[in-house]
Amino acid sequence: MNLSYVGKSVKRKDALIKVEGQSLYADDYVFDGMLYAAAVRSPKPRIKILGISDAKAKKIPGYVTLITHKDIKGAKQWPIVLDDYPFLPEKEAKFEGETIALVVAETLRAARMVAKSVEIKYKELPFQTDPLKSLEKNALKLYGSDNVFSKFIIKKGNAKAAMKKAAIAVKDEFSTNYQVHGYLETQCAIAVPEPGKLMTVHSTTQCPFYVHDAVAAVLGISYNKVKIIQSVTGGGFGGKEDVPALVASHAAICAVKTNRPVKLLYDRKEDFISMSKRHPSWSSVSYGADKNGKITSCVIKYVLDGGAYSTLSPIVLWRGAVHAAGPYKIDNVLIEAYAVATNKVPSGAYRGFGQPQIVFAQESLIDDLSEKANMDPIDFRLKNILSPGAKTSTGQKIEASCGLKEALLAVRKNSDWDKKIKAKKSSGDKLKGLGVSTVYYGVGLGAKGKFLDRAGAYVNVFRDASININVGNTEMGQGALTVLSQIAAESLNAPYENIRVQEVDTSKVSDSGPTVASRTTLMSGNAIIEASKPLRDRIFSTAKKMLLKKGAKSAVVMTAFQGVFSMGGKKVSFKEVVAECWAKRLKMGEQGWHIAPNTTFDDKDGQGDVYSVYSFNANIVEVQIDKETGVIKPVKMTCAYDVGKIVNPVLAEGQAEGGSLQGMSWALYENLVYKNGKMMNPNFTDYMMANTNDKPEYDIIFVEKFYDRGPYKAKGLGEVPLIGMAGAVGNAVKNACGARIKKVPILPEAVWLNLKNKNKGKAK
């Protein structure tokens, strides 16, 4: 197919306004009479609330009012999966930094001063910060009878029996720390009360519909009285999926009580201490194989630290569990997965959504197993990876759109693996190493989220041939406005520059679920195509009639390319055709709706077709280690992706580079420290993240295995690049220095200590 726009690196829609500083983020909006809110936060990991006093606050100029749980007219609990998180707690606060009350003042500065002056009378309660201790029989009870938010079992064959028969086996324990999203724009919402007891909220968010749910619930009003408008969003990565609903609800309560617009803006420290993070994890992983290197068994126990409230933990855990055995053909699998309560900040969505933690353990052990089998790590993977016709750990048969083998062969070739893996590891004061990882990723929300896996679109063609599109999935920096514009332009044969995709407004399109799980291109893209079909029929039919009227022969096939219709040497532009459609009073606005194909999951044994399609990835990371300090420097990342048809190559490459760097940053640098239930480094000075100076050389490869049900045969890319990086980095470190580091981040201290002990052993 000769495509006009799909597959091309067209100019990004929002590039200029962002570069020139024209974009309006939530904090840029000011409304007449606007007030400012600030949170009063719990000073301890767990307290019994005895009272709240604003006596001192009343003496501060600009103070307006105090908001507590008593001011909530609607639901008391935030509606998100298990509904255990109070909008404002009445009797008990469960983590340091939890919002206990809100204050409203005339200025932001006054609001923050007032918040510090509010006195909370409380009694400290015993607390728990270790998820493994939370699982113990006699543990302090924080949630239910066992502190378990959610549990899943994946059972295929008889894994324990097969493990005993294995010719070779490996087993080890791994742990990973938090990862902070690091979005540049902190959480912000503005609630604007409208006449008739209506509420409009401007929010920086990945999921305006979650915000819609929460605001309607907390105010106790119907959905048609609430409108959520997504402001330009300065980064998300999962951190603006669920928690913006809490921030917006707090702003809305304040706006109702004062009957004035209220802005709630977080500073960086409170964003750190109170907003969601990547779940810390612990895992015990075992693999067994026969004498020929065929994996026969996998046994895993996987534990996520959910924090004080469940939020999205059940869903994050499920995704991690169903992918935990890895992209391998294994007949016998047993996976037990738990999301556990502690008295720490609630964990939630983060790019990769429960997979990166277990993939770090999984890919580390696969390398160790290949070593025991005396096989090259890539050869070992090639022997065992999923391919069309093979079945996953949940018993799902992989269909034709699977390019994992091609991806693995591509990175092997481009990285010069066969030569470098045999090369000398030591060079002066540096050690060199290579590490590989493979990933498969279920695109979309899957069986446990299928009731949310839908998307809407409204396409409106104006009389001047400009086109406005409303969708339910958001732009948060990933390039959705551009990719969706390309799909729309291709569908209608409209000039790309004619298309405008707007930020989400919940009053203009039906609930389309969250912008997560690499689903925007697939879901909203298909919804746009669905909306465009009747418009396309009218436009193309009108174009053909116009060309025939110009003298084109009816036997000639009409072509449509880059906004021009051609037939037998005659041409007519998209603009001319649209003008004719309007003159004929044809309907030029249509809605589209797309639902994901059916998926299944059996809660008893975890078997089923859990995702409609998978994307695949292979990575090779080359590192250099300083012998004297243990500092690890990533030199090169060679990454190959099968994500179906690439709609925009430049944007796809940007996603791949950004995601892999983010994964490398988590693997090596990002170390959030908790001590006695208190976050010790809630800032960008002490919480280290990769920057441009840490960027390695990239070699990005795309293997296009088309997905017939995708928009122009695309799948999903966004989350895939991050998932396998920690595993590849860990394997590269071991290849360089012989040390298997089993904790993320892989800090220089751990490598240095290993090298020191190794040298001591040599000295003996």
What are the backbone dihedrals phi and psi of residue 492, each rounded to the nearest 5 degrees, phi first?
A: -105, -5
Q: How confident is the model at residue 611 (pLDDT cuts 50, 70, 90)?
A: very high
Q: How confident is the model at residue 399 (pLDDT cuts 50, 70, 90)?
A: very high
Torsional sign, CA 385, 386, 389, 394: positive
Cα separation, 167 vs 593, in Å, equals 52
**48 pairs with which residues across the strands?**
92, 123
Q: Compare 435 and 761 and report the one with higher pLDDT.
A: 435
Work out the average pLDDT over 222-247.
97
Sole residue written with tokens 């992983």? 285
Type of residue numbered 109: R
**DSSP output for 90-140:** SSEE-STT-EEEEEEESSHHHHHHHHHHPEEEEEE------HHHHTSTT--
Cα separation, 93 vs 86, in Å, equals 9
**Alpha carbon distances (Å) from 658 to 17, 105, 530, 722:** 21, 40, 31, 8
Percent of the chain with pLDDT over 90: 96
Longest Cα separation, the chain: 95
Q: What integer pLDDT is reported at residue 515 of this predicted model?
A: 84
Q: What integer pLDDT is reported at residue 1 of this predicted model?
A: 67
Give the residue from 443, 445, 440 showing the smallest Cα distance to 616. Answer: 440
Cα separation, 384 vs 566, in Å, equals 51
pLDDT at 277 over 70: yes
Pairing of the two strands 499-501 and 467-471:
parallel
Total residue count of the chain as it appears in this document: 764
DSSP H/E element including 216: helix 208-219
Cα separation, 85 vs 218, in Å, equals 12
Helix, strand, coil share (%) of the chain residues, nearest 5: 30, 25, 40
**594 pairs with which residues across the strands?**
455
| Rama region for 235: left / alpha / beta (φ>0; ψ in -120 to 50; rest) | left
Average pLDDT, the chain: 96
Q: What integer pLDDT is reported at residue 763 of this predicted model?
A: 42
pLDDT at 764 over 50: no
Torsional sign, CA 678, 684, 686, 687: positive
Rg (CA), the chain: 27
Burial per residue of 590-627, b for 16 or more beta-carbon CB atoms within 10 angstroms, e otherwise: bbbebebeebebeeeebbbbbbbbbbbbbbbbbbbbbb
Q: Which two tokens stand for residue 697?
A: 């050389």
Per residue in 18-41, pLDDT tens? Answer: 999 999 999 999 999 999 999 999
What are the backbone dihedrals phi and psi of residue 232, each rounded to the nearest 5 degrees, phi first?
A: -55, 130
* Torsion angle, alpha carbons of 699, 705, 707, 708, to 10: 140
SS3 276: coil
List of domains in the chain: 15-21+454-595 (3.30.365.10), 31-126+203-219+233-266 (3.90.1170.50), 281-447+602-763 (3.30.365.10)
Q: What integer pLDDT is reported at residue 705 of this predicted model?
A: 96
Q: What integer pLDDT is reported at residue 762 of this predicted model?
A: 56
* Torsion angle, alpha carbons of 91, 95, 101, 102, to 10: -170
Q: What integer pLDDT is reported at residue 424 of this predicted model?
A: 86
pLDDT at 760 over 80: no
Q: Are 94 and 342 in contact (CB under 8 A)?
A: no
pLDDT at 448 over 70: yes
Q: How confident is the model at residue 427 (pLDDT cuts 50, 70, 90)?
A: confident
**10 Å Cβ neighbour count for 463?**
12
Percent of the chain with pLDDT over 70: 99
Per residue in 406-422, pLDDT tens? Answer: 999 999 999 999 999 99
Pairing of the two strands 426-427 and 332-341:
unpaired
Residues 6+ apart with CB under 8 A from 224: none
* No. of helices (H) and no. of strands (E), the chain: 19, 30
**DSSP output for 401-419:** ---HHHHHHHHHHHTTHHH
* Torsion angle, alpha carbons of 288, 610, 314, 444, to 10: 120
The answer to whether the bond into 534 is cis (omega within 30° of 0) is no
**10 Å Cβ neighbour count for 329?**
18
What are the backbone dihedrals phi and psi of residue 168, each rounded to the nearest 5 degrees, phi first?
A: -135, 150
Cα separation, 566 vs 540, in Å, equals 11
* Torsion angle, alpha carbons of 677, 88, 91, 139, to 10: -40
Q: What integer pLDDT is reported at residue 554 of this predicted model?
A: 87
Q: What integer pLDDT is reported at residue 758 of this predicted model?
A: 77
Identify each DSSP E strand in 220-315 by its residue range. Answer: 226-230, 262-265, 281-289, 295-307
Alpha helices in 396-472 (DSSP H): 404-414, 417-420
Q: What integer pLDDT is reported at residue 483 of this predicted model?
A: 97
**10 Å Cβ neighbour count for 693?**
5
What are the backbone dihedrals phi and psi of residue 701, each rounded to the nearest 5 degrees, phi first?
A: -125, 135
**10 Å Cβ neighbour count for 50?**
10
What are the backbone dihedrals phi and psi of residue 436, each rounded to the nearest 5 degrees, phi first?
A: -125, 155
Q: How confident is the model at residue 761 (pLDDT cuts 50, 70, 90)?
A: low
Q: How confident is the model at residue 516 (pLDDT cuts 50, 70, 90)?
A: confident
Cα separation, 477 vs 520, in Å, equals 13
Q: Which two tokens stand for residue 38?
A: 């600030």
Q: How confident is the model at residue 747 (pLDDT cuts 50, 70, 90)?
A: very high
Sole residue written with tokens 């007449």? 32
Q: Are 474 and 515 in contact (CB under 8 A)?
A: yes
